[in-house]
Chains A and B, each alone.
Chain A
């Protein structure tokens, strides 16, 4: 009996340690992982901007790309003097892949870190959950990777720099028609358990119909699937001239591989999930020639993109992905809106609540020349972006080196 009592109390003590460790950090400065302070960012009056992206869980890859872009933006704008001499400071909180995590991260940023605005969260589903929290607290939110329908409509304080699927996706269908004007029959595949793929496939199917083509079959799969033989054979039997896939990198890549292995020869279009270099490791040489529409091209010709691209190349030894560019653009929008606001009335003197409201107004009114090209916002807060791109995957014969080649 005594032994169990000792064991029980030992475990309770362990829990108590965990809990007390929690409160310790809370009573101290806000539990935040600030980035390596750039020369000026160390000062105490830096303006905090919250970054709530997924650094863990199954969407961590996307979130980490976003954080990389945001960090480059922090350094870039602080080196240029920040906001009239005052640097900005990124406060990064991990949202994980779930709704509750996003809400917790937002709460911490709003009340503890006292940020002027937030960039995030990673998933549209998380945005539906966490953005209303910011809306009620009257804190501006800029989505950097939320593309589902209805995000800016959540409230006045919610906007996004990521163009909705409905605008990006059709470009790749048009590009496919340019390559082969004789396309008639189209087969559509989508991952039914992924929110993004589900809305994307809707857009693809509408576009296909608008272009006067026939959707001969719609096949569903799950992002966790690895075997697509049934769906692939069903589709190939109908002899499609074009196959459109909305899925994530791993499942989409495997699907492409199996389609090619089963003898499909015509054009394949991939959705936004293909927009990452990890696709090359999945389907190797077999994903050569797949078309992907993008909201960002590393080749875009403006001054800020050149700087962004070189910085990213130096740091990570690869071309910047779309999510990094979008996070960079989101931070840039905040910085430039703060600068414009500072000209009207000195922001260091504004109370935080008023600063957040004014910043939100200013942000929606401005025009920004970002790595994504020139962007502005509609009154609801959706992004107006000028340029979109279609890339074709180019892979060596041995399947080791892959890159996105942009079509003109």
Chain B
């Protein structure tokens, strides 16, 4: 067991982070907005943590204090939130595919900026980010509470007036407006909440990966997280959490399967190199057969019904 934990500790933490990023993409989707901006805020949060920990709070020896990591996380959250409002107000006037394009452009702008600024280290990025823990698995102390907190908040959110307003906008924006819900306000709110979450996860991730550069949080990453949300489920927060975990682990799982002895060579090769093909296929199949994702509120409802019958 200890061996398993030390080998797969990194992967387990990545899975939890994948779940968190899935949630950050799910938040704007709650109001029916397909936004791919989360990876941009994730990259931003990472840069904030990387710059603060290597240049502002210098810790010469020993482990980096966890308090400072939490401080970085809150700073990253605040900055992402402010930027989220600024970007959200104009961007959310767009709908559907146009919003998706605008948010892709936003991610691209951040990437080009980070390549050209001196403080972000250009293409080499920032390295030598100090570590708050000795082993990767200990990052669970930060990410598990973060995941639980977000899940509890979302669980409540889906059941109070705010969440109902989100759903109303998702189902029919015009009708929601007619009922006195201000769509722009709620859309920007959902978008900003997603941005804050992504920024906070980015800050942890920078420490976790030891280095941060412009290759983090790119368009490719958006597609992976979008897959996890679409396949996991877009109607309840459990979907993105499960989806994010499964799809973060999938490449490593495919690696392990490809290494199984006795597989024909072409299949092993396909499992190694065809990861993105498999992702794409899952998106297409998922949207055709499971338009609401694998985990839907119906699943929970039916279980409850059965319980009350017996």
Contact = CB atoms under 8 A, between A and B. Distances in A.
Contacts of A180: none
Contacts of B298: 1, 4
Contacts of A197: 123
Given A94-B255, A104-B252, A111-B7, A21 B123 contact: no
Contacts of A11: 290, 294
B24 interface: no
B210 A132 contact: yes
B124 interface: yes
A193 interface: yes
Interface in B214-263: 214-216, 246, 249-257, 259-260
B290 A7 contact: yes
Interface stretch (A25-33, A76-84, A283-291, A351-359): A25-33
A19 B7 contact: no
Contacts of A55: 272
B146 to A, nearest CB: 18
Contact of A31 (B135, B250, B256): B256
Interface string A213-232: 00000000000000000000
A112 B115 CA distance: 37
B124 A26 contact: no
Contact of A124 (B10, B124, B246): B124
B10 A107 contact: yes
A311 interface: no
Contact of B11 (A4, A15, A94, A104): A104
Contacts of B251: 96, 101
Interface string A90-131: 000010101111011001100110000000000011001110
A21 B253 contact: yes
Given A22-B257, A24-B260, A101-B251, A111 B6 contact: yes
A128 B257 contact: no
Given A107-B6, A129-B209, A148 B124 contact: yes
Interface in B248-304: 249-257, 259-260, 272-273, 275, 289-290, 294, 298-299
Secondary structure dominating the interface of A: helix
A199 interface: yes
Contact of A192 (B7, B123, B216, B256): B123
A26 B256 contact: yes
Interface in B2-17: 3-4, 6-11, 14
Interface in A165-198: 192-195, 197-198
A133 B253 CA distance: 21
A8 interface: yes
A407 interface: no
A163 B210 CA distance: 23
A386 interface: no
A366 interface: no
Contacts of A100: 10, 14, 209
A19 B253 contact: yes
A339 to B, nearest CB: 30
Contacts of A18: 250, 253-254, 257
A132 B275 CA distance: 27
A111 B252 CA distance: 16
A56 interface: yes
B259 A195 contact: no
A25 B4 CA distance: 12
B122 A198 contact: yes
Contacts of B128: 128, 150, 154
Interface string B166-182: 00000000000000000
Contacts of A25: 256-257, 259-260
Given A56-B273, A198-B123, A192 B116 contact: yes
Contacts of A125: 124-125, 211, 213, 215
A136 interface: yes
B127 interface: yes
A55 B273 CA distance: 9
Nearest to B260: A25
A108 to B, nearest CB: 6
B204 to A, nearest CB: 14
A33 B259 contact: yes
Contacts of B122: 192, 195, 198
Contacts of A136: 131, 134-135
B125 A195 contact: yes
A9 to B, nearest CB: 10
B229 to A, nearest CB: 16
Contacts of B9: 107
A198 B214 CA distance: 13
A150 B299 CA distance: 53
B124 to A, nearest CB: 4
A35 B260 CA distance: 14
Instruction: Determine which residue in B127, B214, B273 has the highest number of CB atoms from chain A within 10 A of its CB, and name it.
Output: B127
A32 B259 CA distance: 6
B230 to A, nearest CB: 13
Interface in B118-136: 122-125, 127-128, 131, 134-136
B256 A103 contact: no
A193 B6 contact: no
A129 B211 contact: yes
A176 B155 CA distance: 67
Contacts of B125: 125, 128, 195
Interface in A116-162: 124-125, 128-130, 132-133, 136, 148-150, 154
Contact of B255 (A31, A132, A148): A31
Contacts of B6: 107, 111
Contact of B4 (A8, A19, A26): A26
Contacts of A198: 122-124
A1 B296 CA distance: 12
Given A125-B211, A129-B127, 12 more contacts: A4-B298, A18-B257, A31-B259, A101-B251, A103-B136, A124-B124, A125-B213, A129-B209, A133-B136, A154-B127, A192-B116, A198-B124
7 contacts: A18-B253, A18-B257, A31-B259, A100-B10, A125-B124, A125-B125, A193-B115
Interface of B: 3-4, 6-11, 14, 115-116, 122-125, 127-128, 131, 134-136, 209-211, 213-216, 246, 249-257, 259-260, 272-273, 275, 289-290, 294, 298-299
Nearest 6 CB-CB pairings of A with B: A128-B127, A128-B211, A31-B259, A195-B123, A198-B123, A22-B256
